[in-house]
Amino acid sequence: MFRTTVLPGTPCAPPHPGDVPLHRLETAGPGATPFAAGDFDALGPLARDRGPHRHTFYEIVHVTAGTGTHVIDLARWTLNPPHLAVIRPGQVHHWESDRNLTGTLVLFTEDFLVDHPGDRAVLRRLAERSWFSLDAEQNARIGLLADELVQEHRERSPGYESVLRSLLHVLVTRADRLPERGTGPHRAEGRMGAVAEAFARMLADRREAPASIERDWTVRECARRLGVTPGYLTEAVRAATGRSPGRLLIEARAQQAQRLLAHTGLSVRQIADRTGFADPAYFSRFFRRETGSSPGAFRKHHSHHHQSLEAPRRRP
């Protein structure tokens, strides 16, 4: 995986030709706290980047005002603040036609969660939903936490890192209580929970992979890498998500193909190879089965500048 932090002013560039640009978290120097918090202006122009990009870090955005659209992976979210957005490393997102956008951004790498490692699974679950509309009470409580995080990060008083980690843990926990989290009511505990979390990290790495995906990533191979049987892996993942690991692997492969078609100029043959298909014709059949469209038709429909992977949602 790429280095997750860089010095301020380090240019952002795709790590490989054809990949979506990868933003890394700017820190003061080696060993600096991999955390940042502030408003859109304080964190610089990349905070409201209108070009599709991805991060090496988590981003929690509390949107308090503005108009436009926030595009995250396969969904377009029309701004009608207040909102809370959770974006995990590797997700492709950008802002579209935004005006008067205000709010607070909280950025941190996975390493920063050392005091609360269980938050990693919660954040991945929240990122599946990505977008939350807040009522007045929720907005006020989230706003207070966001303001405290910004103040602690700005003042850097003694012990501020511990305070930041504690406040972030409260923010993640409060976000997890918001309705419509999107992955169902199932939760795994103990070793099963750890196995399901490790599988989720494996899926995330697969989605973020800049090079060709390994062709032997089957449920059996994933189980072998995790040191469990395929049956145990299936039971653990079903308990945590309500779905099978095989289904999730298929969806990860289809999602990666959609991203590459929408955001790169790679040929269908190159995309087939990058997503683990030796035969482009078989890849095309797979893609049509999973999306209802051929790769060529999908690319033609989504070839507009900064077009999301999904057609705009119709208002009810």
The CATH number of the domain holding residue 160 is 2.60.120.280
Token duo for residue 265: 């100029």
Residue 99 and residue 67 in contact, taking contact as beta carbons nearer than 8 Å:
yes
What is the full per-residue pLDDT of the chain (316 aa) written as tens digits?
346 776 666 666 555 656 677 888 888 766 689 999 999 988 877 777 777 888 889 999 999 999 998 988 757 888 999 999 999 988 888 888 888 999 999 999 988 998 888 899 899 889 888 899 999 999 999 999 999 999 999 999 999 999 999 999 999 999 999 985 333 333 444 567 778 878 887 877 666 554 444 555 789 888 888 878 888 889 888 877 778 899 888 888 888 888 888 888 889 999 998 888 889 999 999 999 988 889 999 888 876 544 443 333 433 3
User: Is residue 157 a part of any domain in this protein?
Assistant: yes
146 and 236 share one domain: no
- Residue 45: which domain range? 5-176
Cα dihedral value 8, 14, 20, 22, nearest 10: -30
90 and 200 share one domain: no
119 and 60 share one domain: yes
**Into how many domains does the chain fold?**
2
195 and 148 share one domain: no
The CATH number of the domain holding residue 283 is 1.10.10.60
Phi, psi of 154 (to 5 degrees): -75, -45
Q: What share of the chain is helix, strand, coil (3-state, %, to 5)?
A: 45, 20, 35
User: Is residue 307 a part of any domain in this protein?
Assistant: no
171 and 219 share one domain: no
Nearest to 210 by CA among 11, 56, 107: 56
> Domain boundary residue among 125, 152, 176?
176
85 and 228 share one domain: no
Q: What is d(CA 277, CA 273) in angstroms, rounded to the nearest whole number?
A: 5
Listing DSSP states for 61-127 in one string gives EEEEEEEEEEEETTEEEE--SSEEEEE-TT--EEEEEEEEEEEEEEEE-GGGGGG-TTHHHHHHHHH
The secondary structure of residue 12, as a DSSP letter, is: P
Question: The whole model's pTM is what?
Answer: 0.63
